[in-house]
Structure 1
C-alpha cells in the first residue's frame, strides 16, 4: 500500500466534516504548517480548495495566538524596563526585584549574534520579505514571534503572515494536486 492510499483509507474512516478539522489541526503545528497539511489533505482525498482553506485557517490561527501572546509579553517587558528606568532616573530606591545584586539596574545586555542578524535581515527586506521568505528557513510561528519581539506592529505582522501563508499553502496545494494527478492518472 502506498502513502496516498494509506491516507485516503485513513480519512475515509472519519466523517467528511471532521476531515478539514484534522487538516487545520495539523497546519497549526510548527514545521507541518499549511504547506504540508494541505498536501496531506489533498493526498488523503480532500478537495484541494477545502484542503488549502483548512490548512490556511489552521496555520493562521496558530500565528494569531503567537502574535498576541508575543506582543503581550513584549509589552510587559518594555513597561517593566521603563518603570525601572524611571525609578533610577528620579533617584528613588529601586525595587527589590531589580537586576543588580545591590538593587541597581544593570545596563542593557548586548544583543546576540542571531538577533543582530535577524534585525539586519528585517531592515534589508522589511516585514514583507521576512514573512514571505521566512517559511523557507523557519516556521511562520517562529517568524511571527521574532517580528513581534523586535517591535513590529501586530497588524503588520498578521497581514504579511497571512499573505505568506496563503501564498505558500496555495503553491504546495497546486504542486500536490499536480503530482497526485500525474501519479494516479
Structure 2
C-alpha cells in the first residue's frame, strides 16, 4: 500500500497529471483521503517551487525551445494570458490548476513580471484550495453513490 501513496506523490508532481487527477483516483482506489490530499499537495507544490525559484533558467530554455520550433505561444499560454489580463495573479493562480496546470500558471505569472514571493504565495493558496475542492468533492461524490 505504501507504493500507492508514493505514486500519488509522484503523480501530483508530474505536470498535466497533477492534483486534479491523482486526488480523485487515489480516493476512489480506497486510500486514506487525508494522506492522498496531503501527499498530492506536497508533491505538486514541490515541483512548482523550482519553476518559480529557477524561473530565469527555465524561461531562457523555454524561449530557445520555442524559437527553434518557430512556434507561436501555445493555447495554454494564450489562455493564461487572457486570465492574467482579466483577473491578475490571484485569478491566474486560482484558475491555473484547472485551465493551464500549476506549473504553466506559475511560469506565466513569473513571465508577466510578478515577484517570486507573490507567485509562491498565490500558487500555494491555489494548490491548497484545489486540493480541498478535489478531495471533498470526491469524498462527497462517493458518499452519494454508497
Classify the TM-score, shorter chain. Answer: 0.7 to 0.9
Q: Structure 1 34/120 Cα, relative in aligned 2: closer, same or farther at 3 Å?
A: closer
8 Å Cα contact 1:35-1:55 kept in structure 2: no
Q: C-alpha offsets along residues 62-98 of structure 1, whole Å, 9 cap, x if unaligned?
A: 1112222323445x79xxxxxxxxxxxxxxxxxxxxx
Stretches of 4+ aligned residues off by more than 4 angstroms = 111-120
Counterparts of residues 52-71 of structure 1 (less than 5 Å): 52-71=37-56
Q: C-alpha offsets along residues 37-82 of structure 1, whole Å, 9 cap, x if unaligned?
A: 11111111111111101111111111112222323445x79xxxxx
Q: CA RMSD in A?
A: 2.6
Instruction: Tell me the secondary structure at the aligned position of residue 30 of structure 1.
Output: coil
Structure 2, unaligned runs of 5 or more? 62-71
Report what 1:8 is aligned to.
none
Structure 1, unaligned runs of 5 or more? 1-13, 78-110
Say which of 98, 104, 127 aligns to 1:165: 127
8 Å Cα contact 1:24-1:54 kept in structure 2: yes
Aligned residues, how many? 135
How far is 1:163 from its partner? 0.8
8 Å Cα contact 2:9-2:42 kept in structure 1: yes
TM-score in terms of structure 1 length: 0.63
Between Structure 1 and Structure 2, the one with more helix by share is 2
The answer to whether residue 99 in structure 2 is matched with residue 142 in structure 1 is no
Counterparts of residues 1-185 of structure 1 (less than 5 Å): 14=1, 16=2, 18-74=3-59, 118-119=80-81, 121-183=83-145, 185=146
TM-score in terms of structure 2 length: 0.78
Distance in 2, Cα, partners of 1:71 & 1:60? 19
Greater Cα radius of gyration, structure 1 or 2: 1
How far is 1:154 from its partner? 1.3
